[in-house]
């Protein structure tokens, strides 16, 4: 297995980033020392590809492979996928292909299933789901025919809690996530906090079934805490009440050997000391779970 952390390229040049973690190149080298094997880059439609390309190449020089996690809400949103947006998405696929080809390691592209009944597109759930299914069919064909160094994943989405309104995220249960990739070879990214959030709302059971587990190729691992305003995830493992240990046991029993992203904030008040402690604990716990299965 390979362990990773998430990076927003926009933040790496900020003074607050440099104050907490110093020079980006030094930061990447320290990650490798701490047992990290890949970095997952945030990408939005307003971001230039060159930032990820530059950091991705430097990451590989430090022994780290790359993964990319697009957040698409504008013209390239999955819920409005069509032939025009397919052309617009070519850039991010080409970037991932270039990083994969140069490193010799396939680059995961992790997509959400889109949104329904909300601005700016206001697609019904039926319409959004149909477009998302077509997107993943297209992405499956594209990786097979044009981008052999790219692997596409469909992530289990965070459900919309009642206090956030009456809209919907597409693929916010184990079953509906699988429906989006039906009749393709696209794998799923199991986001622990998102799946647990859907359980808290009664949208599905606490643990996924065999069909889902067999499809998992990428993991976003983080814990969940309860605040005055409700459940909040993306917390370091061991800080909350998400059953992440059982989740990892299920994956170990399945023979999972993919990427595990610790999807938590990296800019910590205790700097590198806290970052290393978080990674040492998380990696140690996961390794112990897998060794015991």
Give the residue-averaged pLDDT of 142-156.
Answer: 98
pLDDT tier, 149 (very low <50, low <70, confident <90, very high otherwise)? very high
Most confident of 4-13, 26-35, 50-59, 133-142: 133-142
**Any idea how long the chain is?**
293
Residue-level pLDDT at 109: 98
250 occurs within a structural domain: no
Q: Phi first, then psi: what are they for 142, rounded to 5°?
A: -60, -40
- pLDDT tens figures, 250-270: 999 999 999 999 999 887 767
Residue-level pLDDT at 286: 98
282 occurs within a structural domain: no
pLDDT tier, 283 (very low <50, low <70, confident <90, very high otherwise)? very high
238 occurs within a structural domain: no
Count the domains in the chain: 1
- pLDDT tens figures, 96-116: 999 999 999 999 999 999 999
Q: Is the peptide bond before 139 cis (omega within 30 degrees of 0)?
A: no
128 occurs within a structural domain: yes
From residue 165, alpha-carbon distances to 47, 84, 170 in Å are: 28, 30, 15
CA 253 to chain centre: 22
189 occurs within a structural domain: yes
245 occurs within a structural domain: no
Question: Taking the model in full, what pTM does it have?
Answer: 0.96
152 occurs within a structural domain: yes
Give the residue-averaged pLDDT of 24-53.
Answer: 94
165 occurs within a structural domain: yes
Let me know: does 257 contact 1? Beta carbons within 8 Å: yes
Q: Are strands 259-262 and 168-169 parallel, antiparallel or unpaired?
A: unpaired
Let me know: does 77 contact 64? Beta carbons within 8 Å: no
Average pLDDT, the chain: 95
Residue-level pLDDT at 10: 87
Q: What angle do CA 280, 282, 283 make, to 5 degrees?
A: 65
Domain with 102 in it: 2-221+259-267
Let me know: does 34 contact 1? Beta carbons within 8 Å: no
The whole-angstrom separation of Cα 69 and Cα 134 is 19
Residue-level pLDDT at 269: 65
pLDDT tier, 147 (very low <50, low <70, confident <90, very high otherwise)? very high
CATH number, position 111: 3.20.20.150
């Amino acid at each position: 297995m390979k362990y990773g952390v998430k990076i927003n390229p926009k933040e790496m040049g900020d003074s607050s980033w440099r104050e907490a973690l110093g020079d980006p190149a030094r930061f990447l080298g320290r990650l490798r020392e701490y047992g990290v094997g890949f970095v997952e880059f945030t990408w939005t439609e307003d971001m230039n590809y060159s930032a990820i390309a530059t950091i991705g190449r430097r990451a590989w020089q430090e022994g780290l492979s790359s993964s990319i996690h697009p957040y698409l809400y504008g013209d390239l949103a999955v819920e409005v996928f069509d032939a025009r947006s397919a052309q617009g998405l070519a850039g991010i696929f080409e970037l991932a292909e270039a990083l994969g080809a140069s490193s010799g390691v396939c680059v995961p592209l992790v997509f959400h299933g889109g949104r329904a009944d909300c601005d700016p597109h206001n697609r019904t759930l039926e319409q959004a789901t149909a477009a998302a299914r077509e997107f993943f069919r297209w992405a499956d064909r594209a990786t097979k025919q044009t981008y052999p160094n790219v692997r596409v994943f469909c992530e289990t989405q965070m459900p919309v809690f009642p206090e956030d309104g009456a809209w919907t995220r597409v693929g916010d249960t184990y079953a509906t996530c699988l429906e989006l990739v039906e009749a393709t070879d696209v794998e799923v990214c199991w986001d622990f906090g998102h799946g647990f959030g859907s359980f808290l709302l009664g949208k599905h059971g606490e643990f996924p079934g065999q069909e889902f587990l067999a499809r998992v190729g990428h993991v976003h691992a983080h814990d969940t805490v309860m605040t005055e305003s409700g459940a909040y995830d993306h917390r370091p493992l061991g800080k909350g009440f998400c059953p992440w240990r059982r989740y990892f046991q299920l994956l170990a029993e399945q023979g999972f050997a993919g990427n595990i992203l610790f999807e938590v904030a990296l800019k910590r008040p205790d700097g590198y000391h806290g970052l290393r402690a978080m990674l040492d604990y998380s990696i140690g716990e996961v390794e112990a779970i897998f060794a015991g299965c």
